[in-house]
Structure 1
């Protein structure tokens, strides 16, 4: 979808009957009395579904997986998992490098969340993928998590030859939800710091891109989905102001938190591939960010899933639309790796 109209965005917020049947029959029931309980409940919920994913586990005959410890700027370390194609990239002697950052509202999630994508990108695109397990809030508040992700990016670039990757053949950052926010932030950071080699593509999956505290007044009427998309079965009741912020504790105006409001604009940032649910409370900020990028001359591709919500393909993997979503993911990231 090249150019999304406002009416198309609004129409996409009508609940799909197929999706409604699925989430009424199987509600997403994640909860706990504290953050540790929430993390455990979410992990158990997703683990019960992963055998239904298109790639339900490792594919050792096609992709190798290795764990590594990456040092961070504050003297700690984080885990990453590296996925390497055994046969090597198609029609090439070197692999592009893809960095993936998981979802979970900056306070939940781990390496399992991006396993499907990393295995798929390595197997089908011949890429070396680095799956990053950044530190989580509230134990590690802003900007520790995003700093971890940038440190992992620098580590992967400096160790590219050991990892059998060549970031000059393509360097992608990607993630879903909070991970999409991080990917957008790192794409801007890459431009600002003249990263060499530069990030060449950003995969922004159901991303958080514009905090409610920072919406320009003239765009307020286009920023409604956080409160009006109340039927999303994952982000139930919409997104109320201050929820995540109370835990992640970001600096409100920091470009490490708000990629939309970056003070230097968006010219020269890497091209972007969006996947967005019409029922998702985060829908409108993705639409606005897509427009912002295109107005600044950035090439974008946008896929909208009318009537479907936040992270629907992971929570309801048997749906036909979920299969389509994963297929679209592969096509979109392949497009990001193409030379302009």
Structure 2
């Protein structure tokens, strides 16, 4: 990313013709008459597409199990665990924690099934896919606390899971899940968590709330308001809609990883996947630059002409297939010593 100019970043916001053809032929219809209806429409929409994914369902190479795990408030949440069917490789399996997208208010375990199956099959990792509690039923910070509690549970039970976190401990997710991963990577550093998080996978992440943009970065934070061609997050603008549902604390480090009071030195290395049409594009660019300036190793992939979560909503595209392949390569890089 350091080699891209601002002009090149802006040029990535020009709509790819094949992408336009795809979303005009099959537009998203996920706005119900109520919030709960919209949540159900989103789930139904994605379920209809999963037969087009490179791994549409369970595979023999990966063992999948469901578990209920305890949270700090006495409630339980579900996680799905994915393990290499032939057992861990020599030295042991790294541990990958995945947190799904959906704006902290939608989504479930099916959203990260594909990634977890690929990571277990191709990288011989043990993956834990976390179904954290959603807003508006469960407001901030319940969801992010659930994700941290699941991380603690997984590391404490790593031998039972047949994982070896010393071979790598990665947190990851897309969109809201990317926000959670970035937050937990900082929390791991701040708490001297052991074993430490060694990598963060930040796919189209939310990392800088619009109301918290430093004034000297405002001219570089334009995609939130200018990227109006994205068929998923069109006219996103500020965070007012999410704030009404999730009700985050404006300056909490559990919401805003960019403006962390203690900076970013010493946080785990990061792999970014970012889309040119995405209203979230510029905050990812700025966060990558901030991490690099703090001495953090990063890898940044920018996909020009396509929008937020394009690979899940139009999986038949060649660009979507490449994105998925890049995801495995990027995770492999995160797991390198």
With the shorter chain as reference, the TM-score category is: over 0.9
Query: Contact 2:95 / 2:125 at 8 angstroms: preserved in 1?
Result: yes
- State the Cα deviation string for residues 100-152 of structure 1 (Å, max 9, x = none): 00000000000000000000000000000000000000110000000000000
The residue number in structure 1 matching 2:323 is 325
Inter-partner Cα distance in structure 2 for 1:283 and 1:93: 38
CA RMSD of aligned residues (A): 0.9
What does residue range 1-340 of structure 1 map to in structure 2 within 5 Å? 1=1, 3-59=3-59, 61-90=60-89, 92-339=90-337
SS at match of 2:155: helix
Q: Give the SS at the match of 1:68.
A: strand
Given that 1:231 and 1:238 are in contact with CA atoms closer than 8 Å, whether structure 2 keeps it comes out as no
Q: Is the 8 A contact 2:172 2:181 kept in 1?
A: yes
Q: Deviations over 1:256-304 (max 9, x none)?
A: 0000000000000000000000000000000000000000000000000
Is 2-11 or 290-299 further displaced after alignment? 2-11
The answer to whether the 8 A contact 1:225-1:238 is kept is no
TM-score (norm 2): 0.99
Unmatched 5+ stretches in structure 2: none
Structure 1, residues 190-236: CA drift from partner, whole Å, max 9, x if none?
00000001000000000000000100001000000011000000112
Q: 1:69-92 CA deviation, whole Å, 9 max, x = no partner?
A: 1100111110000000011344x2
Q: What is the total number of aligned residue pairs between the two structures?
A: 337
**By how many angstroms is 1:95 displaced?**
0.4
Unaligned runs of at least 5 residues, structure 1:
none
CA 161–2 in structure 1, closer or farther in 2 if over 3 Å, else same? farther
Contact persistence 2:125–2:163 (CA under 8 A): yes
Taking the aligned partners of 2:295 and 2:306, their CA distance within structure 1 comes to: 29
Deviation at 1:2, TM superposition (A): 5.2
